[in-house]
Copies of this chain bind each other. A is one copy, B any other.
Amino acid sequence: MDQIPEPSLRRLPWYLAFVSLLQAQGIEYVSSTRISRELNVDASQIAKDLSFLHLKGKTRVGYEVNQLCCELEALLGFKRRHNAVVLGVGSLGKALISDSGLAHYGLNIVAGFDINPAIIGTKVNDVSIYSVDDLDLQCRRLHAEIGIVTLPVDHAQEGVDRLIDAGIKGLWNFTPFRIRAPRGVVISNTSLYSHLALIYNRLDSQNPTHRLKS
């Protein structure tokens, strides 16, 4: 499979969400102009992003909605199950294991790991929680390919190193720590705290008196 540029990978799920809506409404065809108008993305950009599908739109009617949905899901990898483990079953780790919606996007969480004896041996949303001592063994047994990092910042890198030793090739980092990994290991960062900081800053800069009130 070709490497798709990151900005395209950011937009492609928007198209999928929109055409899934059209599909649910029984609409058969959609033009890039219509997608452009609805999502406020340049039509030529959309055509370029959709070119990764090797799918041709028909003149005048545009793309076939069912086919577009199906091909987008396949391209984005949402149709294939990717086994993942969660390292750090604190409140965020537990929350992600409990979010069964991620399974619709191809994420199959097969185990959680922690050092807390109170939760080792328990289950969250039917997913077993193991001791980090069993990380290597369980990751290999369960054919895990993705490690979700929800550790405290001061253990993030150490945990990442253990995941890599256990054969994990993709890291989904939820910590604000800049984790490092050798070449060939994929890192995707989800910075919940940066997104919060963005909202706070924009709210405060719009309402200068706001900060004083608190």
A interface, CB within 8 angstroms of B: 1-4, 6, 9-10, 12-14, 16-18, 20-21, 24, 38-40, 76-78, 80-82, 90-92, 94-96, 98-102, 105-107, 145-146, 153-154, 169-172, 175-178, 180, 184, 186, 188-208, 211, 214
Report Cα–Cα, A194/B107, bound state, in Å: 12
A4-B201, A40-B178 given; 14 more Cβ-contact pairs under 8 Å: A9-B197, A18-B177, A76-B200, A91-B101, A95-B96, A105-B192, A105-B196, A170-B199, A170-B203, A171-B199, A172-B196, A188-B198, A190-B190, A190-B195
- In chain B, what residue has the closest Cβ to A72? B197
Beyond A13-B191, A177-B18, A196-B106, whether A3 also contacts B91 by CB under 8 A is: no
Residues from chain B with Cβ under 8 Å of A39 in the complex = 178
Within the complex, which residue of B81, B99, B146, B172 is in contact with A92, where a contact is CB–CB below 8 Å? B99
Whether the Cβ atoms of A169 and B203 lie closer than 8 Å is: yes
Query: Given the complex of chains A and B, what is the CA–CA distance between A2 and B175 in angstroms?
Result: 26
Interface pair A101/B90, CB less than 8 Å apart = yes
Chain B hits for A176, CB < 8 A: 13-14, 16-17
A207 cross-chain contacts in B, Cβ below 8 A? 169
Contact B76 A197, beta carbon cutoff 8 Å: yes
Given known A-B contacts A172-B199, A199-B188, A80 and B194 have beta carbons under 8 A apart: no
Q: Given contacts A3-B202, A177-B14, are A91 and B82 in contact (CB under 8 A)?
A: no
